[in-house]
Amino acid sequence: MFITLLSNAIRYSTVFLFGSTGETIIEKSGHLNLGIPGIMCFGAVGGCTGAQIYMNSLTDTSQASGFVLILISILFAMIFAGAMGLLYGFFTITLRCNQNVTGLSITTFGTGVLSFWGKKMGSDGVTFYAPSKYFLQVFPTEWTKGWFGQIFLSYGILVYLAIIVAVIVAIVFKKTRVGLSLNAVGENPATADAAGINVTGYKYISCVLGAALAGIGGLFYVMDYSQGSLEYVIDAMGWLAIALVIFSIWRPLLGILGSIIFGMLSILPRYLTVTFAQIELVNMIPYAVTVVVLIAISILNKKETQPPAALGLSYFREER
């Protein structure tokens, strides 16, 4: 039973992992994007639209190529979510608006768009059960037998993609010049600017790229986890993704571990005989633990584990 729990937790963790990796990139550039829940909703809308366009373009849906379908869905999810990231970036970087306010409006807007669109799809009779089949499993079924297969090989393509992306982002942060510059932008944009780093460029790229990655999380939730159902809203996942960024102290590799823990806590009530009231208490754990981590890093006050110093502040070059 534990293996089933772990395997389901890893699968569920992908939503958080995409969201938190994206948000980490954005926060590293000094921008706290509270629009992640809305952006993930947008990713879901975009991905499903992409899948729908591809399925409609075929005369015979049974001939659909899974690879092309997934590629188009991911691309559309990234474009839709990235567009919202660009909007966020334009407001907070160029127009220097308050980041919290902008992010919250994007969340309002994004969740509104998803549930509106979902309702419309429902009334039009459009379902995503058919394209969702291609997302569920990447390896042949024989491979998923046994504990090894179940824990490591039983997932859809997006689960592996999430982990690969997190590892790549971690390497970029840790080992490359780009990561170092991004860190400088998030810690002290004025110094970074003086050092010849293109502050605005870095901020824009990280806002758009981070949002695009978070958008894939939304796509995963609809296509893989809900198996094509549009019943549930994603915004609760988005807030957990923001919590996970703190939980993983701005490190994508720890984010992989953290997302699995969050995933496990989210699905744990199903494996225990608990009352509805106790489910609420289990649901509280991720947030409570995040608060504990947040307090711990501030009390320890180590340089490596702090939030980016310029987080939440707009940078205006002419202001000293």
Partner 1 sequence: MKAKANKAHEPFVRLVKRKEMKVWQSILLRAGAFLLSLLICGIVSSLITRKGMGYFFTTLVDGVFGTKRRIWNLFHETALLLIVAVAVTPAFKMRFWNIGAEGQVLIGGLCCATCMFYLGGKMNIYALIPIMLVSSMVGGAIWAVIPAIFKAKWNTNETLFTLMMNYIAACLTGFMITTWAPRGSGVVYFEKGNLPKVGNEFLLKIIVVAALTVIMWAYLKFSKHGYELTVVGESERTAKYIGINVKKVIIRTLILCGIICGIAGFLLVSGTNQSIHKTDTVAGRGFTAILVSWLAHFNPLYMTVTSLLVIFIDQGTGQIATLQGLGNSYSDIMTGIFFFIIIASEFFINYKVVFKFSVLKKAKKFAETVPPAPEIETEVKEKEEVEE
| Binding region for partner 1 (CB under 8 A) | 32, 34, 87, 91, 95-98, 100-102, 104-116, 119, 239, 242-243, 246, 275-277, 279-281, 283-284, 287-288, 290-291, 294-295, 298-299, 301, 307, 311-312, 316, 318-319
User: Least distance to partner 1 from the beta carbon of 2, Å?
Assistant: 25
Cβ-in-10-Å burial (0-12, 13-18, 19+) of 248 comes to buried
CB of 246 to partner 1, least distance (A): 5
Write phi, then psi, for 77 (nearest 5 degrees): -60, -40
Token pair belonging to 136? 């569920």
Token pair 């806002």 is at which residue? Answer: 207
224, 135 Cβ separation under 8 angstroms: yes
Residues contacting 87, CB < 8 A, separation 6+: 106
Q: Given the complex with partner 1, which of 112 and 146 has the nearer CB atom?
A: 112
Compute CA 167 distance to the chain's CA centroid, rounded to the nearest angstrom. Answer: 14
Minimal CA–CA distance to 49: which of 223, 207, 212? 223
Closest contact distance (angstroms) between CB of 175 and partner 1 is 27
Question: Smallest distance from the beta carbon of 306 to partner 1, in angstroms?
Answer: 9
CA–CA distance, 318 with 206 (Å, rounded to integer):
23
Q: Is 83 exposed, middle or buried (0-12, 13-18, 19+ CB in 10 A)?
A: middle
Closer to partner 1 by CB, 49 or 154: give it: 49
Pick 1 or 299: Cβ nearer partner 1 = 299
For partner 1, the closer CB: 141 or 301: 301
Q: Are 102 and 91 in contact (CB under 8 A)?
A: yes
Q: Judged by CB, which is closer to partner 1: 90, or 152?
A: 90
> Closest separation between CB of residue 314 and partner 1, Å?
10
Q: Which is nearer to partner 1, 127 or 283 (CB)?
A: 283
Considering the complex, what minimum distance in angstroms separates the CB of residue 282 from partner 1?
Answer: 9
CA angle, corner 77, sides to 89 and 151, nearest 5?
Answer: 115
| Beta carbons of 230 and 52 less than 8 angstroms apart | no
| C-beta of 9 vs 93, nearer to partner 1 | 93
User: In the complex, what is the shortest distance from the CB of residue 268 to partner 1, in angstroms, rounded to a whole number?
Assistant: 14
Q: CA angle, corner 36, sides to 32 and 39, nearest 5?
A: 135
